[in-house]
Chain A
Amino acid sequence: MQILLVEDDALLADGIMNAVRQAGFAVNWLSSGKAACTYLVAEPPDILLLDLGLPDLDGMEVLKLVRQKKLPTQVLILTARDSTDAKVAGLDCGADDYLTKPFAREELLARLRVLERRLGNASSAVISVGSLNLDTTHQQVWLDGEPLALSRREYMLLKALVEHVGVIQTKEGLEAKLYSWGDEVASNAIEVHIHNLRKKLPDQFIRTVRGIGYMVPHP
Chain B
Amino acid sequence: MRSIRRFLIITLLAIVTLANFVAAVRGYLGSMDEAERLFNQRMMQQVDLLNYALSGLTEQVQHQHDILLLPERELDKGASLELQWVANDGQLLARSAAMPTTVVAPLKAGFTFVNFDHYRWHLLVTPSADNNSWFILAERDDQRYRLAESMILQAVYPMVLAIPIIGVVIWLVLAIGLKPIRRLAEELRQREATDLHPLDQHDMPVELAQLAQSANDLLRRLGASFAREKRFSGDAAHELRTPIAALKIHCDNLLQEQAVPSDTALRLQAGIQRMHYLVEQILVLNRTAPDHFMGQFEPVNLTVLVKEMIAEHSAALEAKHHHIEFDGDESWVMGDRLALETLVNNLVGNAIKYTPPGGRIAVNTWLRGRSVVLEVMDNGPGIPEGQHERVFDRFYRVGGDRHYSHTPGCGLGLSIVKQVVDLHDASIHLTPSRFEHGLLVMVTFAAYVPSAQDIKNMRSNPLSHTHRTLGDDTSADE
Contacts and interface: CB of A to CB of B under 8 A. Distances in A.
A211 B256 contact: no
Given A16-B249, A103-B473, A213 B311 contact: yes
B113 interface: no
Interface in A130-171: 166-171
Contacts of A91: 462-463
Nearest to A22: B256
A102 interface: yes
B248 A84 contact: no
B304 interface: yes
A212 B324 contact: yes
Contacts of A168: 310-311, 314, 317
A98 B466 CA distance: 9
Interface in A104-125: 104-108
Interface stretch (A7-15, A34-42, A195-203): A7-15
B315 A167 contact: yes
B256 A105 contact: yes
Interface in B212-246: 234, 237-238, 241-246
A217 B473 CA distance: 17
B308 interface: yes
Scoring A91, A102, A166 by chain B CB atoms within 10 A of each residue's CB, the highest score goes to: A102
Interface residues of B, number: 48
B456 to A, nearest CB: 8
Contacts of B325: 209-212
B244 A101 contact: yes
A84 B337 contact: yes
A44 to B, nearest CB: 25
A181 B460 contact: yes
B446 to A, nearest CB: 23
Contacts of A18: 249-250, 253
A28 interface: no
B276 interface: yes
Contacts of B26: none
Contacts of A218: 318
Contact of A101 (B245, B326, B463): B245
Nearest to B460: A181
A100 interface: yes
B307 interface: yes
B304 A172 contact: yes
A157 B318 CA distance: 21
Contacts of A98: 466-467
B468 interface: yes
A206 interface: no
Contacts of A87: 463, 467
A80 interface: yes
Nearest to A211: B326
Interface string B321-333: 0001111100000
A133 B477 CA distance: 28
B249 A19 contact: yes
A88 interface: yes
A152 to B, nearest CB: 21
A111 to B, nearest CB: 11
B81 to A, nearest CB: 104
A203 to B, nearest CB: 18
Interface in B444-473: 456, 459-460, 462-468, 473
The 10 closest A-B pairs by CB, nearest first: A211-B326, A105-B252, A15-B249, A102-B245, A12-B246, A168-B311, A80-B241, A80-B238, A101-B245, A11-B246
